[in-house]
Structure 1
Amino acid sequence: MIKILLVGLWVCALTLGGVYAAVSFSGKPGENAEAKAETPTEYVAGEILSLPVVTDNAVTGYFLAKVSVTVDSEKAKKVHLPIAPYITDQLFGLLVGDKLIDLPTAGSFDVAGLKTKVKDGINGKVGEELVTGVIVEQLDFLSKADLNSGDPKRRSSTIKIAEGEKPPVSAKAEGASH
């Protein structure tokens, strides 16, 4: 009888210890509420772009770019605009029109600045804070001389302006649906 009583007390102690550990390691109550309060986002894939670089009235090469964005899901449902053309327009304006990248110093390019300008530009055109993040998946430069040479080894001189980021794994690719 004493053995059964001791086993019962032992099980109660383990159960109470497990409950205490679960509650203490789960974090503060405010943390869970903040995680649930975060804005749900959707991934909108950008298109692969080939943007010409014009120097002295001649095309000297091409930027290869793929930039995608994450958007606020709730606001995207209300806006009903395709986001991919806005991404293309922003990149074309920044890389070709504003000549944001100086090719001799392309290695020191400010990727964070590009992301901010793309985000702010799209949000400004849409009229609200729709874009929550920018993902630079590819940003390279190919010179026209390398492309015109028939030698594939020469194409290895591609200037990688930014290391590509991976899109979110759980992201739902929306493409041009918004």
Structure 2
Amino acid sequence: MIGQVVFGLWVAAVTLGGIYLGQQMAPEPAADGTVAVDHTRYNDFKTDLFAIPYVNETGIVGYVTGRFTVKTIAREEAALGLPLNTVMLDALSRHFYAEADKLAHPDGWSRLRESMQRLREIANETAGREVVADVLIEQLDFFDKNSVRVPGDSRFESSENR
């Protein structure tokens, strides 16, 4: 009998604590009495693994590979005239062709936050509206071409080297 009373008091305490915390987290009303609540719904879109070559005057130097999770605004994504996959592939290609040289050097990895912000801006410019809310890195790597190609494999050598 005492166990049931203790259990009942514990359930009541947890319930009242939950109500109290819920009230503390509720948004405060503005001066005019209205409460601003963000009802924006978001979707997550995962990109396929992509690879973009880093090319300079000597030829291919290496490859940037990556995979991202893109947080999109649901109602804007639904109103898109282009498939989101096309918008993101365009943005990834444009951005990382410009950024590949930075990722080829260790100090280039310190600017990833700004790089993801720029990727979001390019995607929204391509879409013509504010569709992409955030871009999260799942995987991002830079591979030197020599670490990818097998030395001595004639399929990968230029015609001048043969």
Query: Which SS does the other structure have where 2:23 is aligned?
Result: coil
The Cα of 1:106 is off from its aligned counterpart by 4.4
Listed as ranges, the matches of 1:27-176 within 5 Å are: 27-28=23-24, 30-31=26-27, 37-97=38-98, 99=100, 101-106=102-107, 108-149=109-150
String of CA shifts for 1:101-122, please: whole Å, max 9, x gaps: 2522346431111111111111
Instruction: Return the letter of the residue paired with 1:39.
Output: T
Normalization by structure 2: what TM-score? 0.68
| Change in 2 beyond 3 A, CA 1:45/1:32 | farther
The Cα of 1:147 is off from its aligned counterpart by 1.7
Instruction: Return the letter of the residue paired with 1:104.
Output: H
| Change in 2 beyond 3 A, CA 1:21/1:135 | closer
Structure 2 CA distance, aligned partners of 1:20 and 1:97? Answer: 55
Normalization by structure 1: what TM-score? 0.63
Structure 1 CA distance, aligned partners of 2:88 and 2:107? Answer: 21
The Cα of 1:35 is off from its aligned counterpart by 10
Contact in 2 for aligned 1:49/1:64 (Cα 8 Å): yes
Gaps of 5+ in 1: 1-9, 151-178
Structure 2 CA distance, aligned partners of 1:63 and 1:77? Answer: 30
Contact in 2 for aligned 1:48/1:65 (Cα 8 Å): yes
The alignment covers a number of residue pairs equal to: 138
The Cα of 1:56 is off from its aligned counterpart by 2.1
Structure 2 CA distance, aligned partners of 1:120 and 1:69? Answer: 12
Residue aligning to 2:19: 23
Structure 1 CA distance, aligned partners of 2:100 and 2:141? Answer: 14
| Change in 2 beyond 3 A, CA 1:29/1:139 | closer
Between 97-106 and 132-141, the greater mean CA deviation after superposition: 97-106
Query: Which SS does the other structure have where 2:40 is aligned?
Result: coil
Gaps of 5+ in 2: 30-34, 152-162
String of CA shifts for 1:92-147, please: whole Å, max 9, x gaps: 22221354625223464311111111111111222221111101111111111122
Q: CA RMSD in A?
A: 3.2
Contact in 1 for aligned 2:42/2:71 (Cα 8 Å): yes
The Cα of 1:29 is off from its aligned counterpart by 6.9
Contact in 2 for aligned 1:67/1:137 (Cα 8 Å): yes
Contact in 2 for aligned 1:43/1:69 (Cα 8 Å): yes
Structure 1 CA distance, aligned partners of 2:48 and 2:101? Answer: 19
Contact in 2 for aligned 1:40/1:74 (Cα 8 Å): yes
Instruction: Return the letter of the residue paired with 2:26.
Output: G
